[in-house]
Amino acid sequence: MTKITFIGAGSTVFAKNILGDAMLTPSLHDAHIALYDIDEARLNESLSMLHTINKNSNDTRATIEAYDNRKEALRDADFVINAIQVGGYKPSTVIDFEIPKKYGLKQTIGDTTGIGGIFRGLRTLPVMLEFAREMEEVCPDAWLLNYTNPMSILTLGVLKATKIKTVGLCHSVQVCVPELFQHLGIEDDYHLDDFQWNIAGINHMAWLLDITKNGEDFYPEIKRLAAEKANPHPDSVRFELMKHFGYYVTESSEHNAEYHPYFIKEKYPELIDRFQIPIDEYLRRCAEQIKGWEHQRDEIVNNGELTHERSREYASYIMDAMTTGKPTVIAGNVLNTGLITNLPQDSCVEVPCLVDKNGIQPTVVGDLPTQLAALNRTNINVHQLTVEAALTLDKEKIYQAALLDPHTNSELSIYDIKAMVDELIEAHGDYLPTYH
C-alpha cells in the first residue's frame, strides 16, 4: 500500500485534483492518504470531500485520514505533496503588495520572484525545512513533490539544506503550447499530436526552444501570426518578449511582466495599457476566491454526488511511474547538475525528466541560446540570494536579492530598496525568523 501525505491539505480544490487523480490511478487505488493542515476546519472539509470521491469514484478503496500531528502524518510516507501558503492572503500577501506600492513598486502576482517572491520564499522555506527534516527522521526515502511558490527558491532551498529527494512541479510547461495556439487563434486548426517541441529554462521562465509539425519548423508561422496581433491582447507581454528575444516563454504574460525590467514602469505608465498588464492581479484573485468559497464549498464539500476526472497535474503520473515502473516524462524543477550548461550549477532549473522506478531522472539540455540564459540568470540571482538569506539568516543577503531583482532595481534606488526590505521584515513579524 502506497502512503501519500498531503501537507497543506486545506487547499481543498487542489487536494481534489491531486488526490482525486491518485484515487483514479490503478496502482494507487488503495493508497493510504494522510492529510495535514494547520487550519482544522479546512482540513476537515478536504477530508469530507475526499471521502465522497473515494466512495463515488474509487469504490472506497483508499484509506483517508486527517492528522493533527504533522510528523505522524509523514511517518512511513512514500510521497509527500507540499501545497502550503505561509501567512495566507492576510496578512502576508497584502503586506507583500501594499508596502512596495508605497515606494512606487507595482506587482501583478508577486509569488515567484521580485520583492513579493523574495518574502514569500523567506517565510515559507523555514516551514518546509522543518517538515523536510521530519521527513529525514520518519520517511527518509520519500519523494517530496513541491507545488508551492516561489517554486525555484523553495525547491532549491530544500535540495541544498536537506537530504530529501525533491522535485518542483508546475503546470506552465504542460499548458504552454496549447495556450500559445489559443492566443494565436489557431487552436481549432491543428492537432497537437502532430507537433513535437522542447522546453527548458527555469520555472515560469522556461523557453519553447523549438517546435516542429511533422518534422518542419513551425516557429516562423508562430512569429508571423504573433506579429499580426495588435496590442493589447491577453498575451501581449509574451509576444513582445518573443519579438525581441526570439522565443516564447512558458508562464503567462501577467507573471512575466514583473520578471523583467521592461513593462511595469512608473516613468512610462502607458505601457500598462499597451500590454494589458493587470496590476495587483493576485490580490483580486485571492479576494474573489475567498468571496466565492461559500458557494464553492456547497459544490465540492457538501455535494454527496461529487466525482472526479483525472487531471493533467503531474503528481499521480509520477507516483504511478515510480510504483509500477511504467515510464512517463514530466517537466521537473531540479538542481542544475550540468543539465543546462550555461546556467549556474547552484541553481534550480526546469527540464524534461524521465520518471520510472529509478525515480526522477533529468535530461541534459546543453546550452540555451545566449540571450535566454542571460534572462534566466537575472532571476536565478534572486533565487540564490534568497535561499542564502534563509539558510544563513543574514539580512544583507535579503538586501542583495532585492537589489539584484530586475524589476525592483529598474524602479527604485538602493536606499529605497533597503528601506522597503526593512519595512517588510518588520511588517511580517513572527512569520519570519530573526535576521542579523
Residues taking part in catalysis: 171
Distance, CA of 319 to CA of 89 (rounded, Å): 31
- The set of residues, in sequence order, having a beta carbon less than 8 Å from that of 298 and lying 6+ positions away, is none
Burial track 272-301 (b if 16+ CB lie within 10 A, e otherwise): beebbbbbbbbbeebeeeeeebeeeeeebb
Closest CA to 417 of 433, 387, 395: 395
Distance, CA of 181 to CA of 174 (rounded, Å): 13
Amino acid letter, residue 202:
I
C-beta separation of 258 from 281 below 8 A:
no
C-beta separation of 273 from 232 below 8 A:
yes
Distance, CA of 32 to CA of 95 (rounded, Å): 38
SS (H, E, C) 59-121: CCCCEEEEECCHHHHHCCCCEEEECCCCCHHHHHHHHHHHHHHHCCCCCCCCCCCHHHHHHHH
DSSP letters along 352-373, please?
EEEEETTEEEEPP-BPPPHHHH
Please count the other Cβ atoms lying within 10 Å of the Cβ belonging to residue 304.
8
Please count the other Cβ atoms lying within 10 Å of the Cβ belonging to residue 61.
13
Strand ranges (E), 294-366: 328-335, 348-356, 359-362
Residue 292 CA, distance from chain mean position: 23
Q: What is the dihedral of CA 417, 123, 258, 345, to 10 degrees?
A: 100
Residue 374 CA, distance from chain mean position: 21
CA angle 265, 267, 270 (to 5 degrees): 70
Strand partners, 333: 168, 350
Residue 235 CA, distance from chain mean position: 19
